[in-house]
Chains A and B, each alone.
Chain A
Amino acid sequence: MIAKHNKERAAKGALSLALLIAGSISAFIFFFLLYFSLPILSSGLIGEFLTRGWDPDRGVLGILPMIVGTVYIAGLAVIWVTPIGIGLAAFIQLFAPKPLGRILRWTVEFMTGIPTVVYGFAALFFLVPAMRRIFNYGTGLSVLTASVMLALLVLPTVTLIAQDGLATVPSNQVLAAFSLGASRMETFLHVVLPGAWRGLISAVVLGVGRAVGDTLIALMLAGNAVALPDSLLDSARTLTAHIALVSAADYESLSFKAIFVCGLVLFIFAGSNIVFLRLVEKLKK
């Protein structure tokens, strides 16, 4: 009895320690970003920083094009992936014959393990030339190309979480709908979807987080132009790609210091996502 009690205390201690380490690392990153962002935050130029373009040679260090590039690329990716991801989740959960559903689920799970760079390379060889041919415009490296590939990258996250959300609808409710003469589609629309909407929102929000946080796809496929894109076929740069490009080239300049604010913006966005998810969780109860 005492040994069991000690084991429980040890397990509780180990979990608390893990929580403390994870929390400390997050807090450390936040304060690290905040500290290095202070020169810009305290200069009174934060407004300009967030609303101007990027031209370090002329001393202009605004990140507006990168914020817009991130919103365009991640936003479009989420627009593509939401209906496809939820549709695929619904197909696996409710419509597909069980063996096919299992195979699709394994495939989607497998997709989560494919390195991002592989998606990027595949797109460079297939999607970029295709976009160039279809639209006969530019290099093919564009907001549209990056958003399509980013949607594919985020698809497994949205699909798996959406399917888990759909699975939370009690099976007796589904059976009740079937027994009253509802078809599979009617059961999905009238019973499953209303019962699972919170889980589906969680899936989309996590998909947004994944899309905004991804670096490589935008870096490889968006063209990285530091300008506000006029159309979906224009090149653009995301905040994450900007951080990667500037930090790879330069360690000392003011531009390097400016990218900490980009990091802070992303960190605050990720934090907001978590808060939003917690609110949705509360609604579930």
Chain B
Amino acid sequence: MAEDNIKMAIKDLDVYYYERLVLKKVNMVFRNRELTAIVGPSGCGKSTLLMALTRLLDTVPHARVEGSVELRSNDQGWLNVFRLGETDLPSLRRRVGLIFQHPNVLNTSIFKNVAFPLRLLGLSRQEIDSNVRAALIDVFLWDEVRDRLDSPASELSGGQQQRLCLARTLVLQPEILLLDEPTSFLDEDLAGKIENLLIRLKEERTVVVVSHYNDQVLRLSDRVYRLAGNQQESN
């Protein structure tokens, strides 16, 4: 890999469900401190691609990937994501955070949703409290939920759940942030605020956004990849 600021490189990635090819020869690079947009019509495989990058496709029966996804690692050079063993996957998913298109809050309280990944890391109660608060402030949710942190997360509106899921990933401070339609449940005002947050986030990490809003893509992105059919069309 020649360029120093490449954080992730996808090479000749094919994804199959059973024997059906759903993504063909995808080649992309995601750079540090850049926001990359992936666009394309519904069903072209954008979400599948993000799942493949985090090895979450492993959990989908009959899904299979070929090719390679390389992740830059400060001390180990390049890491082939597809060669990682089961025990390395939690670490990969903490480094490459994925926010799904449809909010998937855990069936627990608002606080515990955001605290969940931190508890897995064994952080102290104080650290968890301050990190949860900071993440909820970052996604403009703190003022709306500060008085009901113990309420079920499922009682939040779709837009609030989407921001909660974003906060839950942000507390891990991933090196790469993959966002699947991050503003689809938000009104114009909140969408603008989240866009500003993404711009701020890209200053210190790699951000990849799947979007079908062309104006959003033009506004935000440093680089655009287009998927059409099951193939990458251009960049």
Q: CB within 8 Å of B: which residues of A? A: 98, 170, 172-184, 186, 190-191, 194-195
B185 within 8 A of A: no
Given the complex, which residues of A lie within 8 Å of B98, measured CB to CB? 179
Whether B120 lies near A186 (C-beta < 8 A) is yes
- Tell me, rounded to whole Å, the shortest Cβ–Cβ distance linking B54 to chain A: 6
Given contacts A186-B120, A191-B106, is CB(A179)–CB(B93) below 8 Å? yes
Across the interface, B117 reaches (CB within 8 A) one of A175, A180, A184, A194, namely A180
**Complexed CA–CA distance, A193 and B54 (Å):** 24
Contact B93 A173 (CB under 8 A): no
Q: Is B107 touching A181 in the complex (CB atoms < 8 A)?
A: no
Known: A98-B61, A191-B106, A194-B107. A180 touches B120 (CB 8 A): yes
Are A179 and B54 neighbours in the complex by a CB distance under 8 Å? yes
Residues in B neighbouring A181, C-beta threshold 8 A = 90-91, 93-94, 117, 120-121, 172
Is there contact, CB below 8 Å, between A182 and B56?
no
A114 to chain B, nearest CB (A): 29
A66 vs chain B, min Cβ distance (A): 44
In chain B, positions 81-132 with a C-beta closer than 8 Å to chain A are 86-87, 89-91, 93-94, 97-98, 100, 102, 104-108, 116-117, 120-121
What CA separation (Å) do A191 and B54 show in the bound complex? Answer: 20
Docked CA distance A178–B60 (Å): 12
Q: Bound complex: CA of A175 vs CA of B55, how far in Å?
A: 11
| Chain A residues within an 8 Å CB radius of B120 | 180-182, 186, 190
A175 close to B105 (CB less than 8 A): no
Q: Which of B61, B86, B91, B104 contacts A175 (CB 8 A)?
A: B104
The residues of B that contact A177 with a CB separation of less than 8 Å are 106, 116
With a cutoff of 8 Å between Cβ atoms, the chain B residues found around residue A182 in the complex are 90, 116-117, 120
- CB-CB < 8 A to B165: which residues of A? 176
| Measured CA separation A140–B104 after assembly (Å) | 54
The listed residue with most B CB atoms (<10 A of its CB), out of A170, A179, A191, A194, is A179
**Given A98-B61, A172-B102, A186-B120, A179–B97 Cβ distance below 8 Å?**
yes
- The number of A-B residue pairs with CB atoms under 8 Å apart is 64
| Complex CA distance for A178 and B61, rounded to whole angstroms | 15
B33 part of interface (Cβ distance < 8 Å): no
* B202 CB–A CB distance under 8 Å: no
A173 touches B169 (CB 8 A): no
CB distance from A173 to the nearest CB of B (A): 6
Residues of chain B in range 165-209 having any CB-CB distance to chain A below 8 Å: 165, 168-169, 172
Q: Which residues of B contact A175 (CB under 8 A)?
A: 56, 59, 100, 104
Cα A30 to Cα B98 in complex, Å, equals: 58
Contact assessment for B90 and A183 in the assembled complex, using a CB-CB cutoff below 8 Å? yes
Residue numbers in B under 8 Å from A183 (CB-CB)? 87, 89-90
Contact (Cβ within 8 A) A174 B59: yes
By DSSP majority rule, is chain A's interface helix, strand, loop, or mixed? helix
Query: Within 8 Å CB of B121, what residues of A?
Result: 181
Known: A98-B61, A181-B120. A176 touches B105 (CB 8 A): yes
Top 4 A-B pairs ranked by shortest CB distance? A181-B94, A172-B104, A180-B117, A176-B104
Inter-chain contacts of A180 with B (CB < 8 A): 93-94, 116-117, 120, 168-169, 172
Q: A179-B56, A179-B100, A183-B89 are in contact. List 5 more A-B contacts (CB 8 A).
A: A172-B100, A173-B107, A180-B94, A180-B116, A181-B121
Q: Mark B57-96, 1 if CB is under 8 A from A, else 0.
A: 0010100000000000000000000000011011101100
Give the CA-CA distance A156 to B116 in the complex, in Å.
34
User: Which residues of A have CB within 8 Å of B86?
Assistant: 184
14 chain-A/chain-B pairs, Cβ below 8 angstroms: A172-B100, A172-B102, A174-B59, A175-B59, A176-B104, A176-B106, A177-B106, A178-B59, A178-B89, A179-B93, A180-B168, A180-B172, A182-B90, A182-B116
- Docked Cα-Cα span, A77 to B177, in Å, equals 50
Question: How far apart sit A195 and B106, CA to CA, in the bound complex (Å)?
Answer: 10
Please measure, in the bound complex, the distance between the C-alpha atom of A182 and the C-alpha atom of B169, giving whole angstroms: 12
**B110 CB, min distance to chain A CBs, angstroms:** 14
| A186, B104: Cα distance in complex, Å | 17
Residues of A near B93 (CB, < 8 A) are 178-181
Q: How far is the CA of A98 from the CA of B107 in the complex (A)?
A: 26
Partner of B107, one of A179, A186, A195: A195
Give complex CA distance A40, B25 in Å: 81
Using CB atoms, name the residue of chain A closest to B107.
A195
A195 to chain B: which residues have CB within 8 Å? 107
Chain B residues whose CB sits within 8 angstroms of the CB of A178 once the complex forms? 56, 59, 89, 93
Q: B residues 41-63 with Cβ under 8 Å of A?
A: 54, 56, 59, 61
